Structure 1
Amino acid sequence: MFPNFIFTMFILLLLVAQTRIQAFNIIPDSSSTHQNITINAILQKSAEVCQKVLSKQGRNFVQPKSLTVESVAEACLSPASALTLKSAISEIKNRNFMTDLKYFKDPKYHFDNERFEDGRNVITEGVKKVKASLMQKNYEFAREQLGEILHTLQDFYSHSNWIELGNRSPYANLINPNLPLEKLADKNTPTCRSCVDDDCSNNILDTVISQKLLTSGYTNGITISKPAGKCSHGGAIDLTSQLDPKGGINKDTPKSSHGNLHFVAADVATAATRDLLEDIRKSTNDIEFLRLMGISSSSSVLCIVIDTSVSMADEIAEIKRVTSFIIDSRRGTADEPSIYILVPFNDPGFGPVTKTTNRDDFKSQINALSAAGGGDNPEMSLSGLWLALAGAPAASEIFLFTDAEPKDVEMKSTVLALIESTKSTVNFLLTNLLTNTTRSLSNSVNQLYEDLALASGGQAIEVSKELLANTTSLITNSTISGLVTIFQTVRDPGRAEVFSFVVDSTVQNLTFYITGNSTQFSITAPSGQSQSSEQSDGSVGVIQTVFNFHTVRIKTSSPVGQWLISISSAQPYSLKVTGKSTINFKFDFVEVVQTPQPGYAVYKSRPPATGNVTLLVSLLGSESGVLKEVTLVEASGSGVYKGILEDVGSGDYMVTVTTVPKGDFYIRLNGQFNSSSTSAFQRQSSTRYRASNITVTAVNNDTWVAGQIFKLPFNVTTSSNLSNYIINVKNSRQYNMTFPSSLTAGGDGVANGTVELSAPFNAIDGTGVILTIEATQPGTNDTNYAFLRLAVSREVVPSAGLALSLWLSALTVLISRLSHQ
């Protein structure tokens, strides 16, 4: 996925309406759609692969009666994977839709204009990128690329006459570059006659049918024309369908020119999608294929970012202890981490990122850590965190250990952009105690850490080195599968207030986290029992306090009902309530598109501050559950902005909010299951968000080849009167790049720039790179960003000039070696 946009989207849609976007619909109606074709194929193939895996393990696979995200995750014996499976499917199908917007002028991406060889190349080259990225465990980019090529593959069955030729199974040659595409109608061969009285059911020429010639419809290009005698795509926006022979042959909907074959084409497109997924599976192994689809034995991730400077010996020893405990105690359980990530830092170094699925390899990496170097006190902590956010899966829980202030404070906005984009939570365990009681943290230099923790929904905990072991239970509590946030808020400045929230019957391991100095609180359970912060072990729970951090583990095994917590403090504080539950949700800010085809594009940036904001919210874990309310809640206030809900099926809801908070806000939802008034549930986002008047747009339409300059154009617009921007660009591989440090908008209100990146010649095929392009208006705190996932390719034949350069470089190396012999 790549950032959505407002101004550029509007311009694109105007152009598209005059040119071409025709395909299976995106948003479900009475027809089959790109969306449900993709979803059905992924669920079918995932269930099939799970069955093979469990059979090899000697475990039982129970075929679901109906295939849903929840039922497939349950059948795979990994119910917590429902959220990550849903997220993976969303990434794939969202990029499927965006193919129309990216390549609306190019017929090869849709098998239009008889561009069969070119269309097949789109698929096969795209499959190479998917496989290369999968080899590097770059799952996110692989999903995006997969969605793009699936759109092209699925369009073949709607836009060509494959179905009209009597075929009811996929054309295998489309995904195999070694097989020829046979019996293609040449440019001079007429293929259609005009439709009669809007009846196009018999407009393909008999000779084409009898000779089994493959053709596809022509549609608007730069000019409105087509070769003599050729079929058109058809439809209201295809102006070539008004040229002889008139009409069209597409099967996009039941009302299309060949709409009587719409559902047949959709069924074959689904089978073709399964075949392509099988081809990808064969290139790797079953476990890796399931990871690509978001299914693993556990949804838990263990991600450690640690300062390795000379003063950190005690902290490193504690990290070794707690990670060994997690690895050893969870081996073979549902909470065993599926991915382990380690990022060291000091000064001036940070990284590299160690990312593995092998627990013993991770344990060895942790045990190899030692405290050395570091020099002056500030360390490169934000750079280390930046690498962790870029390398970890979305919605990861990250833990950073340091006893120093950040040296790289300029990285704050980039880190915030990654926190918002990935929805990850960051917890800081800080052992640099000083005395300063004016803030919620006793050490004022830790304020930046606190800001980032609050933005992500994490904790910033100050603790002495001697008591660090008393706080690392946060890691063991927060790295379990199925953890959900029930309630969260911040008060800055602090004040006395009573908070209430609902806990449902699916919640286990109910835990409260309160961060703040001089904070007193009292908790009242639904039963009426109360306990104050002075009681470390009472009727409600067990309270552990270490400096500014309070953990309350609720004792009761049945916490159902309304809870109250009264907090009193003159200093800032935060409250977070979590539990383990099967009911969860995912959401994205989206731009709904109605013309020329209904659909939506996902923002990978901050949503707009003006006008309506739309969210696509997916409820997971309760087949009988329904959403009752979705609100944007001020992060440090009492303002609540209610959304208008539209149920679009399959547990998905479009939510429109007419007014957006001016400051930071959370997403909160309330729902009900089992049709009982006492079965209410409540969930909330951990990450907090902010709207922006700025829009940053960057679309990657090219292949990034190792050793060559990669150019990525971008533009910036704003809804305010200001037109100057400060630009900052970061890439997660620290590859060489250039970009303008500032931009000024032209008369059209658009500021244009280009980022130029260069990956080394020896970069591995499929290497993933996260790029953030940030724009800030001087004199304001308004900023926005574009968030892109890129991958380096080595699959392009070098140009003559590049080939000569490579040859000369190799010759120079050879001469140098010979001269030293």
Structure 2
Amino acid sequence: MNPMQVVTVLVIISLPDLTKSFQPDYNILSDGVSFTHLMITETAILRKTAEVCRDIAADEGRDFTLNIDGSLTVSKVQRACSGTPSSTVPVSAVSFQNALSTIHDSNTRVDTKIKSALTAENHFDNEEFVAGRNIITEGVFAVKFNVLRGNFEVGRKTLGRICHTLQDFYSHSDWVELNNNKPYSALIIPSQPLTNLAGQDVPTCSSCTEDVCRDNILPNILERKLLTSGYFELFSKVKPAGKCSHGGAFDRTSREDPEGGINKDSVGSFHGYLHVNAATVAIDATIELLEDIRTAVGDKTFLQFMGVSQSSALSFVIDTTGSMADDIAAVKETSFSIIDSRRGTAEEPSVYILVPFHDPEFGPVIRTTDPDTFKAHINELTAKGGSGGLPEYSMSGLQLALTAAPPSSDIFLFTDAPAEDAHLKNTVLALIESTKSRVTFMLTDVVRGRDSQSSSDRFASSEGTLIYRDLARASGGQTIEVSKLNLIEGTAVIEDLSANAVVTVFQVTEDPGKPENFTFIVDAATSNIKIFITGISSLTFQLTSPSGVSQNSSEPSGPLASITTVGNLRRILVNGTNETGTWELSVSSSSAYSVKVTGQSSVNFLYNIVEKREGAHAGIDVQEGRPSSGKKRKDHFFIYIVNC
């Protein structure tokens, strides 16, 4: 795959017995003729985001060569906004794509949630213009309020909902039939009056029994430029006398006089001949709404809201009991090093999150985009009360961090104690699955006392660490077990995983352990390969390159990599040759161990589990968490979005 040729690939992996195709909101298997809400929203966001980046570049005297036209993609806009036109520099669009996915999902749910789907004002049906406008203007206020306070995820969900309502206006009303080719700005400006509304006693349509209704809006409505919309009822045939219907198989009013409909939802709708016109104005209207938000929050904050950042969040969950003084000092040293070295660069974290916990308290969540504010909060941490090894409220702290961090975040939890609140394990696991975040646990001296075992051997046998190992495995993170004296060396993994455009090339856990040969492929788009192996001290391994050169675990510096061992962690930094092809890693251990291979690449994979949706708005719905029990397997699919 050439990353400069293929930009976004959508792959459906369906579960068995799917035999019929469908027209989903994600535009998969579409003929590309009809616009969906996703296409309209994404087109508008890409254009507006590119415009903001262009304007920032102009203010800073930098070149901006991206053409803002119909060929924009998430990857193109991300690269242009990052100021890295070269294809050799890894640029991650994961944060941007995640933001878009949140907006799209919220947009779709207006049609799929019964309450909102059957509420006329959410769709400008039944001439509900005032109530529909209120939804938009109140939503815009809420978006601005949350964005200015850094609540980006809440703002994105609200934006998705109001975009749906705004876009439906142009499909469900006669705005386009009145020869309007510009947005109706009064819909987003509460101070502007809504004019020329057809009264409830004013007939607006005549009957149409054809598949296409070109002349069913009454001539006097068009001449007087009165604004109307179609009536839609799922369970009732009743509508005011002489009024237009929305139309379609699920609209019962469309079979009552006047019959037919005026919606432009697709090219096959009653007014489908105007579908492209309506979609074009809807795109412009969405851009107008985004510009209103941009003006209110500022360019930099707008880009953060859209997730246009190469870097990930820096998220720490820290035990602050009395025995954690060394750990807190290590967190300070590591975080300050990351902050100071990346400040003002493309790798500067997009947001900083800190959650302290001990017994019996946890929190609050400290979330900021200001590195100095974050440093100040970390400086204020002190280890007090309690004693090491006694259970603490680690799951409660982690739960707070998972709800505060952006999707697909790496979160680092520091503790020297088991979890007092282990009953929250399933709740935390559900959050990990829904946010697709990875959790790495930095465990220090969890097991007290000295015996003949090494510290990592004792950690592996400790029941107190089981919950941490299970959650790390489920999330794709790691459980790193070190002594407090070696914690600084262990925190090097934080810099590794929080770097720009880090992707997981390969990961596996063997429990119980056994000798195994693993292979992973490195392509030309992947650089800076790093391998992390966790396991007991007697574990051995051998790494073999595609050309047949080998290096074993007894060689800290060899022809392929440099190897450091801290506690139960082997950190293998592959030399910068970036040899492409199939690599082999042979691991020998009779105890549980894990292997994780990372690199830096512009190619990454995002996924969603989705479910078929039938009815008036057939398509697919993104499922939160695991598929519902009792569902037939054929009802669920996996969508992988490949960003290149």
CA distance in 2, matches of 1:47, 1:195: 44
Which residue number in structure 2 is paired with residue 782 of structure 1? none
In the TM superposition, what whole-angstrom CA distance separates every residue of 1:603-628 from its partner, at most 9, and x where no partner exists?
1121246513311111101xxxxxxx
* RMSD (CA atoms): 2.0
How far is the alpha carbon of 1:599 from its aligned partner? 2.1
CA distance in 2, matches of 1:564, 1:314: 38
Question: Quick one: which of 84, 90, 100 aligns to 2:111?
Answer: 100
Which residue number in structure 1 is paired with residue 518 of structure 2? 499
In the TM superposition, what whole-angstrom CA distance separates every residue of 1:548-567 from its partner, at most 9, and x where no partner exists?
21111111422210011111
Counterpart of 2:178, as a letter, is: L
- The answer to whether residue 494 in structure 2 is matched with residue 471 in structure 1 is no
Distance 1:618 1:95, change over 3 A: same
CA distance in 1, matches of 2:376, 2:477: 27
> TM-score normalised to the size of structure 1?
0.71
- The answer to whether residue 625 in structure 2 is matched with residue 620 in structure 1 is no
Which residue number in structure 1 is paired with residue 506 of structure 2? 487
How far is the alpha carbon of 1:160 from its aligned partner? 0.7
Which residue number in structure 1 is paired with residue 478 of structure 2? 459
Q: Secondary structure at the match of 1:306?
A: strand
Matches for 1:281-680 after TM superposition, within 5 Å = 281-296=294-309, 298-374=310-386, 377-434=390-447, 441-517=460-536, 518-608=538-628, 611-612=633-634, 613-621=636-644
Q: Secondary structure at the match of 2:82?
A: coil
| Contact 2:236/2:252, CA 8 A, preserved across alignment | no
Counterpart of 1:405, as a letter, is: P
Which residue number in structure 1 is paired with residue 18 of structure 2? none
Q: Secondary structure at the match of 2:611?
A: strand
Counterpart of 2:556, as a letter, is: S
Counterpart of 1:348, as a letter, is: P
How far is the alpha carbon of 1:195 from its aligned partner? 2.2
Matches for 1:50-449 after TM superposition, within 5 Å = 50-64=53-67, 66-77=71-82, 80-102=91-113, 103-195=116-208, 197-296=210-309, 298-374=310-386, 377-434=390-447, 441-449=460-468
| Contact 1:26/1:34, CA 8 A, preserved across alignment | no
CA distance in 2, matches of 1:369, 1:105: 51
How far is the alpha carbon of 1:578 from its aligned partner? 0.4
| Contact 1:44/1:67, CA 8 A, preserved across alignment | yes
CA distance in 2, matches of 1:49, 1:465: 47
Which residue number in structure 2 is paired with residue 650 of structure 1? none
Which residue number in structure 2 is paired with residue 679 of structure 1? none
Q: Which structure 1 residue ranges, 5 or more long, are not aligned?
A: 1-21, 622-821
User: Higher strand share goes to which structure?
Assistant: 1
How far is the alpha carbon of 1:366 from its aligned partner? 1.4
How far is the alpha carbon of 1:62 from its aligned partner? 1.6
CA distance in 2, matches of 1:185, 1:447: 67
Q: Secondary structure at the match of 2:521?
A: strand
Counterpart of 1:248, as a letter, is: G
In the TM superposition, what whole-angstrom CA distance separates every residue of 1:700-743 from its partner, at most 9, and x where no partner exists?
xxxxxxxxxxxxxxxxxxxxxxxxxxxxxxxxxxxxxxxxxxxx
Higher relative contact order (CA 8 A, sep 6+): 2
CA distance in 2, matches of 1:303, 1:294: 16
Q: Which moved more, 1:601-610 or 1:377-386?
A: 601-610
User: Higher helix share goes to which structure?
Assistant: 2
How far is the alpha carbon of 1:39 from its aligned partner? 0.8
Distance 1:549 1:196, change over 3 A: closer
How far is the alpha carbon of 1:80 from its aligned partner? 3.2
CA distance in 2, matches of 1:345, 1:196: 67
| Contact 2:235/2:252, CA 8 A, preserved across alignment | no
Distance 1:26 1:116, change over 3 A: farther
| Contact 1:25/1:252, CA 8 A, preserved across alignment | no
- The answer to whether residue 36 in structure 2 is matched with residue 33 in structure 1 is yes
> TM-score normalised to the size of structure 2?
0.89
CA distance in 1, matches of 2:104, 2:466: 40
Q: Which structure 2 residue ranges, 5 or more long, are not aligned?
A: 1-22, 84-89
CA distance in 2, matches of 1:25, 1:552: 40
CA distance in 2, matches of 1:46, 1:534: 51
In the TM superposition, what whole-angstrom CA distance separates every residue of 1:798-819 from its partner, at most 9, and x where no partner exists?
xxxxxxxxxxxxxxxxxxxxxx
How far is the alpha carbon of 1:300 from its aligned partner? 2.3
Matches for 1:770-781 after TM superposition, within 5 Å = none
Q: Secondary structure at the match of 2:297?
A: coil
Q: Secondary structure at the match of 1:485?
A: strand
| Contact 1:234/1:248, CA 8 A, preserved across alignment | yes
In the TM superposition, what whole-angstrom CA distance separates every residue of 1:183-241 from its partner, at most 9, and x where no partner exists?
11111111111226555211111111111111111122542121111111122222222
How far is the alpha carbon of 1:24 from its aligned partner? 9.4
How far is the alpha carbon of 1:25 from its aligned partner? 9.6
CA distance in 2, matches of 1:164, 1:230: 16
Distance 1:375 1:533, change over 3 A: closer
Which residue number in structure 1 is paired with residue 3 of structure 2? none
Which residue number in structure 2 is paired with residue 43 of structure 1? 46
Distance 1:507 1:327, change over 3 A: same
| Contact 1:591/1:601, CA 8 A, preserved across alignment | yes
Aligned residues: 599
CA distance in 2, matches of 1:164, 1:90: 32
Identical aligned residues as a percent: 49
Counterpart of 1:96, as a letter, is: N
CA distance in 2, matches of 1:104, 1:344: 41
Q: Secondary structure at the match of 2:460?
A: coil
CA distance in 2, matches of 1:198, 1:359: 60
| Contact 2:551/2:558, CA 8 A, preserved across alignment | yes
| Contact 2:529/2:578, CA 8 A, preserved across alignment | no
CA distance in 1, matches of 2:257, 2:25: 25
| Contact 2:459/2:465, CA 8 A, preserved across alignment | no
Counterpart of 2:281, as a letter, is: V
Distance 1:352 1:433, change over 3 A: closer
Distance 1:565 1:183, change over 3 A: same
Counterpart of 1:323, as a letter, is: S
How far is the alpha carbon of 1:433 from its aligned partner? 4.9
In the TM superposition, what whole-angstrom CA distance separates every residue of 1:469-506 from its partner, at most 9, and x where no partner exists?
22111011111110000111111111111111111111
CA distance in 2, matches of 1:128, 1:151: 16
Counterpart of 1:520, as a letter, is: T
Q: Which moved more, 1:189-198 or 1:238-247?
A: 189-198
